[in-house]
Amino acid sequence: MRVVLVSSRSFGKVIPVGKMILTQGGFDVRHIGPEERPIDEDKMTEIVNREDPDAIICGPEPITEKVLGASKTLRMVMMHGVGVDHIDVAAATGRGIVVANAPGANTAAVADLTIAAMLALLRHICEANQTTKAGSWDRHLGHELGEMTIGVIGTGRIGAHVIKRLQGFGSRILAYDVIQDRHLIEEYRITYVTLENLLAESDVITLHIPMMEETRKMIGRQELERMQRTACLINTARGGLVDEEALYDHLKANRTAGAALDVFSVEPPRGSPLLDLENVLATPHVASYTAEATERLDRMCAETIVNTFSEKPCSNILNPEVLKPEHP
């Protein structure tokens, strides 16, 4: 029986459909237990070597060349999500290992949390909740989302869904992306500007770009200096997009009003000084963690594995060249 090793924390934990599809497809599903976490490269290599899986369903765990080489039978790595910056796709391709992700499955969920974070920051919802429960009656003066200029960095699937939701509030929307979406310009009347202009003019800035070497610490000291002192930053994409040390300094000195962070450069962010700041709203990488998104993710992951091993075409494979007969 083929083995699927699951390192993702959420696959099959709350929604049974993915595990059911794999089991019916003849796969033995094995979850990595909480006692083996946190998982770094060495731990992942050890587990893969021990379990010798045919496929891996991973979360943010490092899938490096060392990890890929730890199994004699590994044929596929399936990302339980979209971002694959932690997966060495080139090394996988060289070894003839298929890599796939689940685009679109969590788009609505991440967009929803992004809007929720904007409202929480602008209306000081978390602070009001805490002070009221503590017996105080402190009224925090907030701002209306519809009167704000929102800067959306990255207008792919999730960025576009955030823009769509913002239409209901009437916000002015600025956007930055290396590729401009004509549909968004015509349908939602957004304005593409330079990154420098977006940073300078926006009241709220939200990140929706992939993690690559070109985007690592894209929001650093220089970029933070361009932002208004009253501006807020939201990151539901990847922690590595932001220079966290620089962000801490700006937030601590109130040179940036606030930040909502669902992702961190190291997760969990134990010991991060950002967690000590009152103007930081921190959540544990839950933007995509809804029942609906989890069901879509689990189903897509399971069906992609079953179809790939059955030699059926899948549009979400990132290195389809490995499936060609001439591939070594």
Question: What span, in angstroms and rounded, lies between the C-alpha atoms of 77 and 316?
Answer: 12
**Phi first, then psi: what are they for 133, rounded to 5°?**
-65, -25
Give per-residue pLDDT as tens, 50-107.
Answer: 999 999 999 989 999 999 999 999 999 999 999 899 999 999 999 999 999 999 999 9
Give per-residue pLDDT as tens, 291-300.
Answer: 999 999 999 9
* Strand order, beta sheet including 258-261: 191-192, 172-176, 149-153, 204-207, 232-235, 258-261, 280-282
- Is 289 strand, coil or helix? coil
Question: What span, in angstroms and rounded, lies between the C-alpha atoms of 158 and 155?
Answer: 7
Q: Does 326 have pLDDT greater than 90? A: no
Q: Does residue 240 or residue 325 have the better pLDDT?
A: 240
At residue 43's C-alpha, the angle toward residues 41 and 46, to 5°, is: 110
The CATH superfamily label for domain 2-105+290-323 reads NAD(P)-binding Rossmann-like Domain (3.40.50.720)
- Is 98 strand, coil or helix? strand
> What's domain 107-282's architecture?
3-Layer(aba) Sandwich (3.40)
Q: Which helix (H) or strand (E) holds 50?
A: helix 41-51
Q: Average pLDDT of 292-321? A: 96
Select from 171, 211, 175, 178 the least CA-distant residue to 191: 175
CB atoms within 10 A of CB 116: 16
Predicted confidence band of residue 14 (pLDDT cuts 50, 70, 90): confident
Q: Does 186 have pLDDT greater than 70? A: yes
Query: CA dist 150 to 83, 189, 193, Å?
Result: 24, 13, 12
The structural domains of the chain, with segments of one domain joined by +, span 2-105+290-323, 107-282
Q: Does 301 have pLDDT greater than 80? A: yes
Q: Which residues are annotated as catalytic?
A: 238, 267, 285
pTM of structure: 0.89
**Going by C-beta distance under 8 Å and a sequence separation of 6 or more, which residues neighbour residue 249?**
221, 255
What integer pLDDT is reported at residue 324 of this predicted model?
Answer: 81
